[in-house]
Amino acid sequence: MSKPKLHSAKTFNLLIVANGEPDAAFVAETLRSTPAIAFNYNIALSKTTYRSLLHSNSYHAVLCSHAVFCSDAPSKQEIAPEEALVLLHSSGQQIPFILISETLEDTNEHLRAQIADCVLRDRISLLPEILQHRLLPPPPLVPSPQSAMARLSQALQDASSTDEFLARVAPLLRETLNIQRCSLLQLDAEEQMRVRYVFPAGHQPETPSHLEGELERHHRTRLEAGHHLILPCLEETAQPAAVDAGSLLLVPLWSQQSYLGVLYLHHGHKEHQWTQAELDWAKTVAVHCAIALRNSQLSQHLQRHQRWHWLLHRVGASLNSTRSTDSAFAEAIEHIGETFGVEQVLLARVGEEQIVVTHEWRSQPDWTAYLHASVPAAEWQELLAPESPYCNNRYFQTSSLAEYCAEKEQTRQIVEPSQARSSLAIAIFARDRLWGSLILQTARSRTFSLEEINTLSQIADQLALAAAIQQEEQLQQEVEERTQQLEVANQAKSEFLSSMSHELRAPLTSVIGFARVLLEQIYGKLNSKQTQYISAIADSGEHLLSLINDLLDISKIEANREELYPETLSVEEICLSSMALLEERAEQAGLQLHFDLHPDVTVCYADQRRLKQILVNLLSNAIKFTESGSVTLKVEPRANRLEFSVTDTGIGISQADLDTLFQPFQQIQTPLHRKHKGSGLGLALSRKLARLHGGDIEATSKEGKGSCFTLSLPMPAEAASGIID
């Protein structure tokens, strides 16, 4: 055993594992050339010697040279690092195992995780310092760990912002770790690494320096897994001027299972070996930095949400105000522009042919105005198609608007003079159809976060509701205007019919009268052909007069010119008088007329002429469409109403025909209709007269079994008081 001159108070025993005397001598010579510590060493050149020395001696560390195991055909006596590590563990000695290797690639990841340190052969000069850090107690921190921890905790409590906290922590790191420079990089909302703090103070670029950025990107996976990294900062490496050659310690910043960034600590000595105490202290500082960053993020997040909540409230208040929809939209987009700090906000209406900007807000008057500008919808079909990502995801954004619109001819002409660079469009759907777009534009490159997009989507929903209400109001206004036009037209029609009916009825009455006189042959006899023609003139005249009378009555009702003169009437008298008018026609048709009056019914309150007209119409229709059997008029009380029912045994009416039965000029197409002429106004007029009385007419029927038409009138109070349904 060789014993070099010692310079430390304590001597350390080392076991050198090598494959041959030259390699062992190379390691020993390195230790001898730097008398930082005193040591004794043994050399093991075989597995047997190595195992024996481990069991017979106590050592402070094992040095294993990996270079001798690079041959393709190792001898049976060679000891691979994995075997040497296993034998060390089996000996029961818990001492550092230091590997000396040609390159890091010569050792696998699993082995590197188990050994204390790995020294490259071309940097073997670091071996004495590594042993010193491993075998000697670490020098005390200046100031003491307790004092440093107290200052760290106090800084976190007292600092009003993250930057203030970092400004207090950086000098503390310099004192305790003797570093030349530190910097903190933070992931922003767009997952981009940006410089948050640099010490000493100097130029702080918006993006990390070339060296720091490349290192972080290259080692992102390990940093995100929570591993710290110790890297040499070589002179030939491209780096900022403030960073000289030395050693870098990268400590990841973690909080609540989220990777927030990385803390860079630069030690000026290129051969500096970070002790465990220094690593623990750096990790402690990193934890506090991560807490500060997380608090800052939470504070910013809370402030953003407060602004957005205020914005949603203000937009909602604007849209729910009593002002016009246009002014509400204008105020809403102004709030949006100011809150999100953009230069322009547009509200565009999407039509089938054109996309038109209906509202605009600009932060500066010199910004290009888009109000009332329009572009063809055909140029934006990749967004407007129902299956497009825009319609499905409800948003679209680009950070290069001019480039995106380069192929859209008319859109490009509008966009080119604009200062807008980034654009975000939020789809507005009203009644499940694309109604328009809310567009935010900025002069700089900007990517809107999902939180911002979600907030704007909520605002778009409010705008959609307001748009739907606006459409409803416009539609209602159009309906009211159209209704008024129809009422005016209907009034004019009624007045015209009323006027024309009066003008036609006088000469028509004369025609009918002269025809009847000729038929009586008072002024001479008529031959058969003359009698036939004059009879046809009289019948047609009376049919036309009946039609004109019905038209006159309906037009008067629709023009609100019909006046009723209700009085107390004997129900029996008015029913019998109505039936008397049709007895002859019923006899000619071979039908029986029946009358059934409830004993409790005596009087009713109605206009005598109009009530009789209704009953005659109902009885006449029943006789007309009944070929055999009977027609019955039945009157009975029903709660506070009086019902006049006309029931026949005629051909009946289908359900489809019942739905149109009471419409003017509607006649059911049956053989009996062709036999009996009619105007199609009788039932319509009867129902209108019934409703003028406060009643109604309902019909029930079965094809082939007959029909029942029921006139319902309000019962006089004195009569209804004694009736129980």
What integer best gives the mean pLDDT of the chain? 81
Q: Do residues 399 and 421 touch, judged by C-beta distance below 8 A? A: yes
The residue among 433, 457, 465, 425 whose CA lies nearest residue 351 is: 433
> What pLDDT is stored for residue 675 in this prediction?
53
The rounded distance, in Å, linking the Cα atoms of 219 and 259 is 13
What are 95-126's pLDDT values in tens digits? 999 988 887 776 777 787 788 888 888 888 88
Q: What are phi and psi of 278, to 5 degrees?
A: -65, -40
| Sheet of strand 641-648, all strands in order from the earlier edge strand to the far edge | 591-597, 629-638, 641-648, 706-714, 696-702
pLDDT above 60: residue 708: yes
pLDDT above 70: residue 54: yes
The rounded distance, in Å, linking the Cα atoms of 499 and 480 is 28
pLDDT, average across residues 14-29: 87
> What pLDDT is stored for residue 442 in this prediction?
94
Question: HEC string of 238-296?
Answer: CCCCCCCCEEEEEEEEEECCEEEEEEEEEECCCCCCCCHHHHHHHHHHHHHHHHHHHHH
Q: What angle (nearest 5°) sits at the alpha carbon of residue 132, between those of residues 129 and 133?
A: 90
Highest mean pLDDT range out of 181-185, 269-273, 541-545, 643-647? 643-647
> What pLDDT is stored for residue 339 in this prediction?
87
> What pLDDT is stored for residue 209 in this prediction?
56
pLDDT tier for residue 345 given thresholds of 50, 70 and 90: very high
Q: Which two tokens stand for residue 606?
A: 């109605």
Q: Which two tokens stand for residue 489?
A: 């037209």
The rounded distance, in Å, linking the Cα atoms of 437 and 18 is 75
Greater pLDDT, 716 or 725: 716
Other Cβ atoms less than 10 A from the Cβ of 42: the count is 19
What are 325-337's pLDDT values in tens digits? 788 888 888 888 8
DSSP 599: T
Q: Do residues 328 and 466 touch, judged by C-beta distance below 8 A? A: yes
What are 270-313's pLDDT values in tens digits? 667 888 888 888 898 888 888 888 888 787 777 777 777 888 88
Rounded to 10 deg, the angle between the 145-158 and 162-177 helix axes is: 170
pLDDT above 70: residue 405: yes
CA distances from 112 to 118, 171, 534, 584, 602 (A): 7, 34, 128, 124, 116
Instruction: Report the DSSP beta bridge partners of residue 591.
Output: 629
Q: Do residues 688 and 622 touch, judged by C-beta distance below 8 A? A: no
What are 642-696's pLDDT values in tens digits? 999 999 999 888 887 887 788 775 666 555 454 545 556 788 888 989 999 999 9
> What pLDDT is stored for residue 145 in this prediction?
64
C-alpha 408 chain-centroid distance: 28
pLDDT tier for residue 427 given thresholds of 50, 70 and 90: very high
Dihedral over Cα of 418, 419, 424, 430: its sign: negative
Least confident window among 240-244, 363-367, 484-488, 626-630: 240-244
Q: Do residues 616 and 578 touch, judged by C-beta distance below 8 A? A: yes
Greater pLDDT, 641 or 510: 641
> What pLDDT is stored for residue 559 in this prediction?
66
pLDDT, average across residues 249-265: 86
pLDDT, average across residues 584-613: 92
Q: Do residues 709 and 621 touch, judged by C-beta distance below 8 A? A: yes
Least confident window among 254-258, 375-379, 702-706: 254-258
Residue showing tokens 């690494």: 193
Q: Give residues with Cβ within 8 angstroms of 97, minimum separation 6.
A: 61, 62, 64, 84, 85, 88, 114, 115, 116
Greater pLDDT, 29 or 239: 29
Other Cβ atoms less than 10 A from the Cβ of 10: the count is 11
The residue among 445, 426, 443 whose CA lies nearest residue 367 is: 443
DSSP 379: G
The residue among 37, 83, 81, 87 whose CA lies nearest residue 63 is: 81
Least confident window among 198-202, 411-415, 520-524, 530-534: 198-202
pLDDT tier for residue 164 given thresholds of 50, 70 and 90: confident
The rounded distance, in Å, linking the Cα atoms of 162 and 172 is 16
pLDDT tier for residue 206 given thresholds of 50, 70 and 90: very low
Other Cβ atoms less than 10 A from the Cβ of 265: the count is 24
Q: Which two tokens stand for residue 429?
A: 């759907």
> What pLDDT is stored for residue 682 in this prediction?
80
> What pLDDT is stored for residue 665 in this prediction?
59
pLDDT above 80: residue 13: yes
